Structure 1
């Protein structure tokens, strides 16, 4: 190829078509952030895809927040309670609508508890028969490896604290790293609503929790893991969202996730022991 002289300002000249291409490439690389072109593909080089980013952030995460129901455990806690009160099908429908983002979470929570009207005594009896957690395959090892790496693990759930505390104990997650809902009772032990001051009791509660954690504890690389629309809402402030489809596959969550996994073994494959 014949070399063509390319005039430039100053005493020097760049010669050769290849020189011109290299100069242009260098200009685009350096100027991309100023021109709003970051993340674009130039000369066959692709930006980091969302799955690779999620895996990279996970390896450097200082905090990982897990949804609990249908993620850490195989069941939906409120559905287990509904079975005790013989309103299982109606509650399941409300749960499905809430997790798919079709109804505000606080409205679905209130409606489900109103159907059950759990007293303190009946709730205690229910938990004796239905409350034993069935952990999702691989999740205990995932949490153990995160702990070994010095990563702080949080349980951030729209479920109930009374059901989540035994799960946290099994996972060796401290009580102050649980964010969940509290059922309230009157002096006679009758159902009296739920604690509406808990951020997880309302729509947008999970991003509110992560924002609070980021502000108070200074986390830089936060990851959210979950199966529902309320979990997807937590990115940002989470840098990435890992969608979990091992129990329930929700199309909105699958499409919105940075990385969608069907089995926690996929996470273990990229999360070596510390």
Structure 2
């Protein structure tokens, strides 16, 4: 890895990780999983998978139920009093049975979030960062591997998290809620990559073109994350089941993990 990048990033990453721990507590919550372990899939890391993980120029993370333990759209919906309706729509979207843009439109249509409500939600519900993520981000950056957040969630919620970890906002690809002049819900930005099915591979292709990367890894829990690998944008898809296990994801992932520490351990191993 590039020595100058390694030297410059390590102190900044360490400070960012400390800052994140203060602003976004690493509190585990009790979650309902579809299984305690994936029924099948590549749960043991293969040598070629480990090599790609160590040599990739960048690692892209889904945010909800991966980078963080919460599912922010569902939790914002619950805060707005429409949690059950929106959770059902989210489950369909993540299972791959509904076109993502239509699911997003339906969820926001039910929620009708105002600017004031989103700001209040952020104050009252800080992100529950997945244990091990601050250390993993610091390690990746110390190795000269860039970190990107590629999410179907909302920039208004994700940007504070990215800033706390020292991740540039230019490295965030997510959806933007639009408000009118009085702060009322006015739709969403349909030009964002991740507002539609196929958006995450499109975002990764954009990242590769912009920065000249050859190999980019995608880490996530759902069907929209797996698309990045199936469509050839990502060289490797690491499925994460630490919050919720999805059998179809476990079966198709290049590597399926239950703990973020597994990524850190592989990165620290000697080549």
The two structures have a TM-score, normalised by structure 1, of 0.79
Q: 2:138 aligns with which of 140, 144, 153?
A: 144
Deviation, structure 1 residue 66: 0.4
Instruction: Supply the distance in 1 between the matched residues of 2:84 and 2:254 (Cα, whole angstroms).
Output: 32
Report the 3-state secondary structure (helix = DSSP H, G, I; strand = E; otherwise coil) of the residue aligned with 2:105. helix
Deviations 1:148-197 (A, max 9, x none): 00001100000000110111112211111000100001112111000000
The reply to whether residue 76 of structure 1 matches residue 68 of structure 2 is no
Q: What residue is the counterpart of 1:6 in the other structure?
A: none
Distance in 1, Cα, partners of 2:99 & 2:46: 29
- SS class of match (1:269): helix
- 1:103 equivalent among 98, 103, 121: 98
Alignment of 1:169 onto 2:163: yes
1:270 equivalent in alignment to 2:247:
no
- The equivalent residue for 2:41 is none
Query: Aligned with 2:267: secondary structure?
Result: coil
| Structure 1 runs not aligned, ≥5 long | 1-48
Aligned residue number for residue 46 of structure 1:
none
Q: 2:82 aligns with which of 84, 87, 107?
A: 87
Partner residue of 1:12? none
Which one of 42, 49, 53 corresponds to residue 58 of structure 1? 53
Q: Secondary structure at the match of 2:67?
A: coil
Corresponding residue SS for 1:270 = helix
Q: Is the 8 A contact 1:54 1:240 kept in 2?
A: yes
Q: Work out which of the residue numbers 238, 242, 251 in structure 2 matches 1:242.
A: 238
User: Could you tell me how far 1:107 is from its partner in structure 2?
Assistant: 0.8
Structure 2 residue aligned with 1:119: 114
Question: Do 1:145 and 1:273's aligned partners in 2 also have CA atoms closer than 8 Å?
Answer: no
Structure 2: gaps (5+ residues): 1-43
Question: Counterparts of 1:111 and 1:221 in 2: how far apart (Å)?
Answer: 35
Q: Deviations over 1:75-134 (max 9, x none)?
A: 01101111111111111111111111010111111111111111112222222112x111
For the residues of structure 2 that align with 1:54 and 1:165, how far apart are their CA atoms? 30
Query: Of the two structures, which has the highest relative contact order with CA contacts closer than 8 Å and spacing of 6 or more?
Result: 2
Residue equivalent to 2:197: 203
Count residues with an aligned counterpart: 225
Look at both structures and tell me which one has the larger radius of gyration over its CA atoms. Answer: 1
Alpha-carbon RMSD across the aligned residues, in angstroms, is 1.5
Deviation at 1:252, TM superposition (A): 1.1
The separation in 2 between residues aligned to 1:53 and 1:205, in whole angstroms, is 27
**SS of the residue 2:174 aligns to:** strand
Distance 1:134 1:123 in 2: 17
